[in-house]
A and B are shown apart, each in its own frame.
Chain A
Amino acid sequence: MSIPAFAALLERLVFTPGRNAKIALLKRWFAEQPDPDRGIGLAALTEELTFATAKPALIRDLAAARTDPVLLALSRDYVGDSAETIALIWPQRAGVNTPPPTLSEVVEALDATPKSELPDLIAGWLDSLDANGRFALIKLVTGGLRVGVSGRLARLALAEWSGRPIEEIEEVWHGVAPPYLPLFRWLEGKAERPDPRDAPVFRPLMLAHPLEDADLATLRPEEWRAEWKWDGIRVQLCAGPGGRRIWSRGGEDVSAAFPEIVEAMDFHAVLDGELLVIRGGGEVAPFADLQQRLNRKTVGPKLMRDYPVGVRLYDLLFEGTEDLRALPFDARRARLESWIARTCPARMDLSPQIAFASVHQLAAIREGARAASIEGLMLKRADSPYVAGRVKGLWWKWKRAPLSIDAVLMYAQRGSGKRSSYYSDYTFGLWRPDGRGGEELVPVGKAYSGYTDQELLWLDRWIRNHTVARFGPVREVEKGLVLEVAFDAAQRSTRHKSGVALRFPRILRIRRDKPAGEADRLDTLMALVENREAKAKAKAEADAAAD
C-alpha cells in the first residue's frame, strides 16, 4: 500500500504550512513505513532521488486515449494543472482489483522496463490507484514532485523521531545513499552509526541571528570581531582523499555548478566561505551576476569566463583530519590565516576583518557600506566555538535596512506549480521622461513573493479585470495599480532596460490608495544606486587613510 500512503503524506505536506506539523507527518512516515519504502519516500521528498522516466506528453497521451477531448479540455481549463486534471479525470475501470504498487516496485520497474512498454506499465498503475495516488504517481514518474521538504527539515524530523542530535545525523547523511538502510538501522538502535570515513560529508554550518537594537546595547567591542557580510552564497568546501564537495548552506551538493572551484580544492581541509563572482582586481560583482551560475548541472567555458567565481574564506573547520570546531574563533582565525599563507589556494582569499573601537563606529561603518556586493556586517564573538545551527549570542548578522519604492504594475504572469492558475509574478515599473515632454513607465523589476494569499487572490482578480493585452502566459495590464516594493539593494545593470537591477524585490503592500501618477520616478531609484557607490568609495578612501 505504499503509493497510497505516500500520496496521503504528500497531500498533507503540500497543505500544511507549519514546520512542526510537517515534522510530525514525517515522523509518522518513518515510524509506520517498512524498508526500503520509507527511505525511497524520504529521498523522493527531498529530491535526493528524482526520476524523469516518463515525459509529461506520455501521460497526456494516456489520458487522451481514455477521455473525451472536449471534457478533458474543459477540465484542464478549470483545474489549471495537467497532472492534477489527469489524476482526477482518469476513468476508474470496473473490475480492476490489482493492488496498488509499492514505492520500491515503482522504482525497480521504471529502471527495468524498456521505453516501449512504459505506457502500459504506467496505465496499469494508474488503474490501480485513486485520485490522490494517481497524482502522486504522475508527479513521481515525471520528476515533478516538488513538495518543498528540504533535506534539513527531513533530517530534523529524523532527529526528533529517533532522539539523536541533528548534528550527528547531518554528518553521516551524505555518506549514506537512498534508501538509507544503515541510517535507519542506526536510528532504531539496531546498529552502530554508519562511518563516513573519508567521505566528503557535510558538516552543519554555524549561522547568525539578526541583530536587534536591544542586543546592540549589550555588545562590548573588545569581545567581538567584525567582517563584511558578503552577498553571495554561503558554501562549505570539503576536500580530502575521499573526494571534493561544495556544499550549500542547506547541505545540498552544488559542486557540479562550480568545476573551477572543485579543481582548486587541492588540499585536505574543510572550509567555510562565501562563493562570489570576483572579477580581475578582486572586485566582487553584484549577486545578479552570480545568479547566472546557480542551479546548473553543467557549465560551459563561456559562462566560466564571463562569470568567474571565487570563495572568500570565513573559517577553517578541519585541517587534515584535525577537527578545529571546538577552538575559539580567534584561534581558528589564526589557523585559517596561516593555512592560507601556506597553501595559497587558487580562487580563494581571506575575508578581511574590520577594526572598530565602538559600537557607534561600527554603526557608521555599516551605514556607509553601500557597495552592491555587501549585505551588511557579521559580528562574531572572539571566543565562539564553531557550533551547528543558530546559537544565540555567538554570531550576529547586521543587515542594512531594506529600501522601498512605489512602483506601477505593468505585466503579470501566471506562477508555476501550485500557483499555476493565478497571476502571481509581477513586473513593475517607474516613471521617466519619454523625451517628448511626457512621462513613460520603464520596467525595473519582477517580484513573485511578499504578498498574502488574500492579496494574491485580489491581485489575480484585478489583473483579469484590467488586462489590456496578452502575450502567451503574460498579461499586460492597465497602468493603474501601485505596489510598494521592498528590496535589499539597487545595482547598476547593463542587462536591464532601466539600467538598474533590484536585489530581492518583494511586494510589501498593495497601494490601492495611491494614483499611478504619484508612483516613484526612476531618478529616485537611481539616486539610491549612485548613493551607495559614492558612499562605498568614500568609505574605501577613509579605510585606506586609516591604515
Chain B
Amino acid sequence: MVARGAAQPWIPSVLRHLYRGMPHPETWLRVTPAGLWCEPGDFFIDPTRPVARAVITHGHSDHAQPDHEAVLATPETLAIMRARLGAERAGRQQQPLLPGEVVLHNGVRIWLRPAGHVLGSAQVCLEWQGSRAVISGDYKRTPDPTCAPFEVERSCDVFVTEATFGLPVFRHPPPEQEIARLLASVALFPDRTHVVGCYALGKTQRLIALLRRAGWDAPVWLHGALLPLCHTYEELGVRLGDIRLATVAQKGALRGAIVLAPPSAVAERWARRLADPVVCLASGWMRVRQRAKARGVELPLVISDHSDWDELNATIDETGAPEVWVTHGRDDALVHAMGLRGIRGRALHLVGLGEEDEGEDAAPEPAVPATAEGGVA
C-alpha cells in the first residue's frame, strides 16, 4: 500500500450517484466468516481470524486479533496492538496511516478518520470506482480527554455502524455527572475503598482523566491487569498523573481511595479483601437496573465509550448516508428507527464481535422473553 497525499476533496453524493456505472458497495464489500472483506482490495476490516491483509479500526480484542500478515491502522492502534499482543503477533508488517492521509491499494482508496472511541480509534473510509463506504468501528460522540473526537465523513453511499447500545433506553448521562456521583460516594464513605470495574483499554484511562479534571489529585490505584495499557497511553502522550499498583497488602492505605480493576475482578475475592469495598462498575449497561443488580454492583456508573441511542441516530443522519449497515449490537431497533426516517438499514450479523463496554467476559444477557406481563410497578 502506498501513501498518496491528502484525502480527496468532498464530492456531493448526489453527483456521484449520477455517475452511471458506479458499483453499489454491496458488490465490493462483503460479509465473510472472517469479517468484512473488501474484494477488489483483497483486505479485511477488523477480521476475526488471521488474514493476509487487515485494516484495524481500534485495539479492542474483538476488533484487533493477533497474527495477521499486514496490518494497516493508526500509529496509536499499532502501538496498542503491540502492547496487548506482543510485537511478534501484532502483524508481521505494520503500516501506520495518519488520519487525513490516503493510501491506494489495488484501486481502492483507503483513509481513516477519528472515531472518538479509544486512543487511536478510527473509522475506515473506502472508495472504489467512485463508490464510497465508511466503516465506523466502535465510536462515541461525547468528548473524551484521552482521544481525538469523532469526525463525520459525509457523502458516503453506505455507512457501516456499530449498535452496541441500539435501544432507546440507552441514553448516557454526562460522564462528569457520573464522576461527581463517585466522588460524592467517596466523601460519604471515607473509610471504604471504592473499586471501579472498567475495561482495560480506553475506559480505564478515560476514568483517570475524568477524575483528574474533577480535581481528584490523589493517587489512582490500579489492579495489575490495567497498568500496562496505562503506560502505553502515557508513552503516546496521554498524561494520567499519579497512578499506582494496588495490592491487597495495602488494604489500610486504600481506605478512602479509588481503585480501578477489570470488571471480572470487582466481584471476586481480590476486591472483597479490600477495606469494606464499594463495588462500582463503569459501563453503559449500568443504565439498566437489572444488569447492575446481576453484577452485584453497589454504585453503577453509566459511563460508556460507545454511542448511545441518540448519538447513533444523530450520527447516521449527519453522514447523510442513504443506506446503513449494522455490524454488532441491537440491530433490530436501529434498523426499525432508520426505516421510519427513510434510511435503508441492513443487519450484517458479523460473527465474533462481542458485547463490549463492560469486560472481556461480559456474557450477553438473555433478552427477557416477550410474555405478556402487566403492571408498571
Contact = CB atoms under 8 A, between A and B. Distances in A.
B376 A86 contact: yes
A68 B294 CA distance: 29
B370 interface: yes
Contact of B336 (A71, A80, A82, A146): A71
B298 A144 contact: no
A15 B296 CA distance: 8
A418 B293 contact: yes
Contacts of B167: 71, 74-75, 78
Contacts, number: 118
Nearest to A70: B336
A88 B377 contact: no
Most buried by B among A68, A70, A88: A88
B371 interface: yes
15 contacts: A14-B289, A15-B292, A15-B300, A56-B377, A57-B376, A74-B330, A74-B336, A75-B333, A77-B369, A88-B169, A131-B173, A138-B376, A142-B376, A464-B366, A472-B372
A25 B188 CA distance: 8
Most buried by A among B185, B340, B376: B376
Contacts of B374: 56
A473 B330 CA distance: 25
Interface of B: 167-171, 173, 181, 185, 188-189, 276, 278, 287-290, 292-294, 296-300, 330, 332-333, 336-337, 340, 366-377
Interface in A127-171: 130-131, 138-139, 142-144, 146
B290 A89 contact: no
Contacts of A473: 371, 373
A70 B339 CA distance: 12
Interface of A: 8, 12, 14-18, 21, 24-25, 28, 56-57, 59-60, 67-68, 70-71, 73-75, 77-86, 88-89, 92, 130-131, 138-139, 142-144, 146, 414, 417-418, 420-422, 453, 457, 460-461, 464, 470, 472-473
Contacts of B333: 70-71, 74-75
A100 to B, nearest CB: 15
Given A131-B287, A457-B294, A56 B376 contact: yes
A84 B371 contact: no
Contacts of B340: 68
B292 A421 contact: no
Contacts of A16: 298
Given A79-B290, A418-B290, A73 B376 contact: no
Given A138-B376, A418-B293, A78 B189 contact: no
B299 A421 contact: no
A220 B293 CA distance: 48
A204 to B, nearest CB: 28
B377 A418 contact: no
A80 B368 contact: yes
A465 to B, nearest CB: 9
B188 A24 contact: yes
Most buried by A among B169, B293, B333: B169
A89 B376 contact: no
B291 to A, nearest CB: 9
A12 B184 CA distance: 12
Contacts of B373: 414, 420, 473
Contact of A56 (B171, B288, B290, B375): B375
Contacts of B367: 77-78
B370 A472 contact: no
Contacts of A74: 167, 330, 332-333, 336
B293 A85 contact: no
Contacts of B288: 78-79, 84, 88
A59 B340 CA distance: 25
A68 B289 contact: no
A41 B129 CA distance: 66
